[in-house]
Amino acid sequence: MESIRRTKIADLLKQPAIDTTVNVKGWVRSKRGNKNVNFIALNDGSSIKNVQVVVDVENFDAELLKKITTGACLSVVGKLVASQGAGQSVEIQASDIELYGEANPDEYPLQKKGHSMEFLREIAHLRLRTNTFGAVMRIRHNMAIAIHRYFHEHGFYYFNTPIITASDAEGAGEMFQVTTLDLARTGADGDVAYDKDFFGKKTNLTVSGQLEGELGATALGAIYTFGPTFRAENSNTPRHLAEFWMIEPEVAFIDKDDLMDLEEDFIKYCVQWALDNCMDDLEFLNKMIDTTLLDTLHSVVKEDFVRLPYTEGVKILEEAQAKGHKFEFPVTGWGMDLASEHERFLVEEYFKRPVIMTDYPSEIKAFYMKKNADGKTMQGTDVLFPRIGEIIGGSVREESYEKLTNEIKARGMELDTYKWYLDTRKFGSCPHGGFGLGFERLILFVTGMQNIRDVIPFPRTPKNAEF
């Protein structure tokens, strides 16, 4: 085989060096042709686009060509020429083909045809080789890059809060327990010897890095987490994962208005990044998955977000209901927790643009949120999005040691558990706030995919921890 440096297909298609000899390596997406000439669509994962390889049958061993089937892996050397055919601008006239790995058509499950998302979930280790999952994973990567860039450019520090924790954060959800005890030997006498466990006490997987993130923000000024979080909830829905990734920025010296500006600027930056860097993949998804995708993305970056106090939002919902709009969960008035359908009504039907909802009733929100002077509402700043509902949950935090300890006590929580957290208010307390973004919710929004299990490589859900 001629020794020529491999070119990635994305690079080759971006700046085609016509009439030079090139080497590409990748997987066969399809092969068609006749007894004189074969056309191989080759893909190497660098792009949704394939490169067409033209094979003059008489120049190659028939046995080799027979083994070139969908899924096989090849290295191809040949001349890059302008294409005669429709559908591609360039193609490679193969002079040399090396077969790295076959894919027996009787066994390889990804023959060229549409597969259901359900079937592909069962072969999650191979679905990455499909057009849809290639596109989703490249966009997922780009969203992670956009997030790190945004925060780095704005002076936030990436801060790794613990995954295994003895704290239960805010009681935000059911937790997984982490242990090195032998389960076949614990509890025989109804008692668990946690002094013999690895950490000497009961530990869990984190449900949120926020409380530890506040420790970072009140020292470094502005931090963000970006790591896995866990919920042991028995929810079999298209919106829930037991293991998902969260981004939680936390900022010292921020007030409610600045926090809303940050949320809006941040999420627009991410969506704009996708539009600037992932257009091939987005166009594919716009065609195959959701034909409103590109319109929705463009609209989100263009429109100012509505800033809507909860009290006004509930009024709008009550009026809509009075006028005959049917909600699955009826609007019961001030104090109610909004369901996704309520959020989406405000965003998709009433305002037709994203909404930052503020000043929720304190009772339906977490203990650490800063109360307004009215004593009933708190400075929350949740961002509601089309198709998704709540995509960001944010708030200004209560910085008064006294008010915070009173709130903890009033909720019947253990003061002792939060001693280290309260130290941020005891020593050099400062106004601060932050928000949480579920990474997979962002990916759902940006890809148009319908099920959260299809925007993470290996989803963890009840009874499912394959691969």
Site for a second copy in 187-246 (CB under 8 A): 187-188, 190-192, 198-201, 203, 205, 212, 215-216, 218-222, 227-228, 230, 232, 234, 242-243, 245
Sheet with 222-230, side-by-side order of all strands? 157-158, 222-230, 243-252, 432-438, 389-397, 377-385, 355-361, 306-309
Among 161, 358, 379, 447, binds a second copy (CB under 8 A): 161
Among 16, 71, 433, 434, binds a second copy (CB under 8 A): 71
Distance in angstroms (rounded) separating the CA atoms of residues 408 and 366: 10
Judged by CB, which is closer to a second copy: 448, or 459? Answer: 459
User: Which range of residues in 54-62, 178-186, 332-340, 360-368 is near a second copy by CB under 8 A?
Assistant: 178-186
Helices (H), 221-339: 256-277, 279-288, 293-302, 310-322
Does position 356 interact with a second copy (CB under 8 A)? The reply is no
Distance in angstroms (rounded) separating the CA atoms of residues 302 and 434: 24
Q: Which of residues 86-145 bind a second copy (CB under 8 A)?
A: 100-104, 107-108, 125-126, 128-129, 133-134, 137-138, 140-141, 144-145
Does position 390 interact with a second copy (CB under 8 A)? The reply is no
Angle at 159 between CA 201 and CA 221, to 5 degrees: 120
Does position 361 interact with a second copy (CB under 8 A)? The reply is no
Does position 72 interact with a second copy (CB under 8 A)? The reply is yes
Among 35, 66, 116, 184, binds a second copy (CB under 8 A): 184
Judged by CB, which is closer to a second copy: 201, or 326? Answer: 201
Identity of the amino acid at 336: M
Distance in angstroms (rounded) separating the CA atoms of residues 79 and 445: 41
Does position 404 interact with a second copy (CB under 8 A)? The reply is no
Does position 4 interact with a second copy (CB under 8 A)? The reply is no
Identity of the amino acid at 176: F
Does position 436 interact with a second copy (CB under 8 A)? The reply is no
Helix (H, G, I), strand (E, B) or coil at 382: strand
Q: How far is the CB of 443 from a second copy (least distance, A)?
A: 10
Identify whether the C-beta of residue 66 lies closer than 8 Å to the C-beta of residue 27: no
Does position 451 interact with a second copy (CB under 8 A)? The reply is no
- Write the CB contacts of 128 (distance below 8 Å, at least 6 apart in sequence): 134, 137, 457
Judged by CB, which is closer to a second copy: 90, or 220? Answer: 220
Does position 66 interact with a second copy (CB under 8 A)? The reply is no
Judged by CB, which is closer to a second copy: 203, or 296? Answer: 203
Judged by CB, which is closer to a second copy: 72, or 338? Answer: 72
Angle at 395 between CA 394 and CA 397, to 5 degrees: 140
Distance in angstroms (rounded) separating the CA atoms of residues 445 and 131: 18
Does position 162 interact with a second copy (CB under 8 A)? The reply is yes
Place of tokens 């869990």: 204
Q: How far is the CB of 450 from a second copy (least distance, A)?
A: 20
Does position 430 interact with a second copy (CB under 8 A)? The reply is yes
| H/E run at residue 16 | none
Of 368, 369, 349, the closest CA to residue 358 belongs to 369
Judged by CB, which is closer to a second copy: 221, or 361? Answer: 221
Q: How far is the CB of 125 from a second copy (least distance, A)?
A: 4
Q: How far is the CB of 317 from a second copy (least distance, A)?
A: 36
β-bridge pairing 157-158 and 222-230: parallel
Of 246, 251, 207, 206, the closest CA to residue 226 belongs to 246
Distance in angstroms (rounded) separating the CA atoms of residues 203 and 217: 25
- Distances, alpha carbon 423 to alpha carbons 169, 220, 260, 381, in Å: 15, 16, 27, 25
Identify whether the C-beta of residue 386 lies closer than 8 Å to the C-beta of residue 355: no
Binding letters toward a second copy, positions 255-294, x by CB under 8 A: ----------------------------------------
Distance in angstroms (rounded) separating the CA atoms of residues 259 and 431: 12
Distance in angstroms (rounded) separating the CA atoms of residues 51 and 42: 5
Binding letters toward a second copy, positions 9-38, x by CB under 8 A: -x--------------xxxx----------
State the number of binding residues for a second copy (CB under 8 A).
110
User: Which range of residues in 51-59, 85-93, 264-272, 419-427 is near a second copy by CB under 8 A?
Assistant: 419-427
Judged by CB, which is closer to a second copy: 144, or 294? Answer: 144
User: Which range of residues in 39-47, 58-66, 285-293, 371-379 is near a second copy by CB under 8 A?
Assistant: 39-47
Does position 57 interact with a second copy (CB under 8 A)? The reply is no
Does position 351 interact with a second copy (CB under 8 A)? The reply is no
